[in-house]
Structure 1
Amino acid sequence: MAAELPSPCCMRGSLHNGNPTGTEETIHGLQTYVARPETGPTKGTLVIIPDAFGWDFVNLRVLADSYAKRGKFEVLMPDFHFGDPFTKSGLDSVFALKGYEPPFYVRWWRMLSTFPVFLFWAWTHRQSVTLPIITNFFKALREAHSSTGEKIGVAGFCWGGRYAILVDSYVDAIYSAHPSFLQIPSEVEPVTKPISFALGDKDVVVPMSKVEQIKGVLKKKENLDSEVIIYEGMEHSFAVRGNPEIELSRKGLEGSETQCVEWFTKHLK
């Protein structure tokens, strides 16, 4: 079955305040944001596959820093978009921060003008282009870790949430937050590694009918550690782009962050 068209929800969200503290390095041929624990040895490597807004999106860089600090992971966020993430102005102009919204007719006009650009971007970063880039990175990373046996986890968000599942054979554990384009159940059925889903009950990209299908597939995998955590009132993109100024959104941001840290603390040790 062909992938569904991207939803306008993929452009929803807010830009967060924060000062990333990691470094930019070239790892296995890709520019990569690297966050490391402040002290002590690392407890495994966690690779983030970002959403459409890319490896330099401040929200994800700050989140990577937090994962490194809280979980003691070495966190890598490569530029899987090859320097071509979706423009962040699409996020800021279409879905402005609460209290700074333009009139509704301006928002609709911006949506109509931005969405075709997103469709073109999604085509240029389709699976046949993107998956080899991602799998080559994970293959190289696995080979580099072969002598130490250090475990590798992958956390994917929105656009990256699907690819986190597709690299199952190269990692030791998976976390997927509100994945886009995921084919359900066909792309969930082959999963063999411990997997954690963070999903919102108001997400039109992964509606509750699809969530129940995911649960059904995982329930049959009796020997596979898995979880599906549903966040009430949360729409698509909540784990990365929820507005921390809104109490309910902040709970979704904080809860999904803790979910990810606890999952990899359990499976990367």
Structure 2
Amino acid sequence: MASNAPGDCCVKGVRHDGEPTGTLIKIDTHDAYQATPDPSKAKDAAILIIPDVISIWQNSKLIADQFAANGYYTLIIDVFNGDAMSLNRPEGFDFFGWLNKGSTGDNPHTKEAVDPIVEKAIKFLKGEKGFKKIGAVGYCFGAKYVCRHFRNGIQAGFVAHPSFVEEEELEGFKAPLSIAAAETDEIFPAEKRHRSEQILAKNGLPYQINLYSQVVHGFAVRCDPSKKIQRFAKEQAFFQAVTWFDSWLL
């Protein structure tokens, strides 16, 4: 793997303050959240956010709104069929049981279940919204599916603290890719970062791996903003993404 499997750190964090300004919609039967830019600032490109296991919630909505404030129509798709995890689950939760079978035992969150949902979101952006340029953002769980769906029209990618990404999936992403990594991260540790660097260098396309000190897995979505170093890392990772898309998507 280019990153390890998810763990308890994927659901820990802090809920952020703010009032989301986007709207909830449906794409087929799946929940989604759209954030629309001011028409005077709108760019000719869309961003698809494939979220972490908490899916569409306060923090991810605020991030989508920030992308919209920077001119990008932004869509978050719930890839969990309404079965997302809650923040700060108790220790001992059967994470892999949830991945393989879902909370009800018949709602898996494997690639066989998630891939079709991501494809519907991309089809929505291309068809109903008419975008020809699509960038994708993947946080934690979502990073795997940014890499997997280059073939469906993703033209530039940004991932933060990725999990569950296979080496062949990273190799298959034949587009510019930016990665935000945490200094302390059992899921994307130093050896995985270095291996990812080797793979991306071999691909010969623009890539970037930024390492943020004194933060842990999940910082780009669920950090504690009352702590200056964490707030700085989250904000810089967001600016990293916007700058990447401004440079390689437009």
Q: Is the structural similarity TM-score above 0.5?
A: yes
Q: Which amino acid aligns with 1:42?
A: A
Q: Which residue number corresponds to residue 172 of structure 1?
A: 155
Change (3 A) 1:51 1:149: closer
SS in 1 for 2:48: strand
Trace 1:60-71 onto structure 2 (pairs within 5 A).
Answer: 60-69=60-69, 71=70
Q: Which residue number corresponds to residue 104 of structure 2?
A: none
How big is the shift at 1:150? 2.8
Larger Rg: 1 or 2? Answer: 1
Please list every run of 5 or more consecutive structure 1 residues that lacks an aligned counterpart in the other structure. 95-109
How big is the shift at 1:11? 1.8
Trace 1:7-156 onto structure 2 (pairs within 5 A).
Answer: 7-27=7-27, 29-43=29-43, 44-55=45-56, 57-69=57-69, 71-88=70-87, 91=88, 110-112=90-92, 115-116=93-94, 118-123=95-100, 124-144=108-128, 150-156=132-138
**Structure with a larger share of its residues in helix:** 1
Question: Conserved in 1, the CA contact under 8 Å of 2:163 and 2:187?
Answer: yes
- CA offsets, 1:115-138, max 9 Å, x none? 22x332211211121112212332
Q: Which residue number corresponds to residue 102 of structure 1?
A: none
Change (3 A) 1:180 1:39: same
- CA offsets, 1:206-232, max 9 Å, x none? 10001001111111222x111111111
- State the TM-score, normalized to the length of structure 1: 0.83
Q: Distance in 1 between matches of 2:50 and 2:132?
A: 19
How big is the shift at 1:235? 1.1
Please list every run of 5 or more consecutive structure 2 residues that lacks an aligned counterpart in the other structure. 101-107
- State the TM-score, normalized to the length of structure 2: 0.89
Pair 1:198 & 2:199 matched: no
The share of aligned pairs that are identical, in percent, is: 31
Pair 1:264 & 2:218 matched: no
- CA offsets, 1:132-171, max 9 Å, x none? 22123324433456xx663111101011111111111221
Q: Distance in 1 between matches of 2:196 and 2:159?
A: 12
The aligned length equals 240
Trace 1:179-258 onto structure 2 (pairs within 5 A).
Answer: 179-183=162-166, 185-222=167-204, 224-258=205-239
Question: Conserved in 2, the CA contact under 8 Å of 1:28 and 1:141?
Answer: no
Q: Distance in 2 between matches of 1:47 and 1:266?
A: 17
Q: Distance in 2 between matches of 1:218 and 1:25?
A: 35
Q: Distance in 1 between matches of 2:156 and 2:5?
A: 28
How big is the shift at 1:42? 2.2
Q: Distance in 1 between matches of 2:131 and 2:38?
A: 23
Q: Which amino acid aligns with 2:189?
A: P
SS in 2 for 1:32: strand
Q: Which amino acid aligns with 1:49?
A: I
Q: Distance in 1 between matches of 2:29 and 2:112?
A: 19
Question: Conserved in 1, the CA contact under 8 Å of 2:27 and 2:120?
Answer: no
Q: Distance in 1 between matches of 2:41 and 2:27?
A: 20
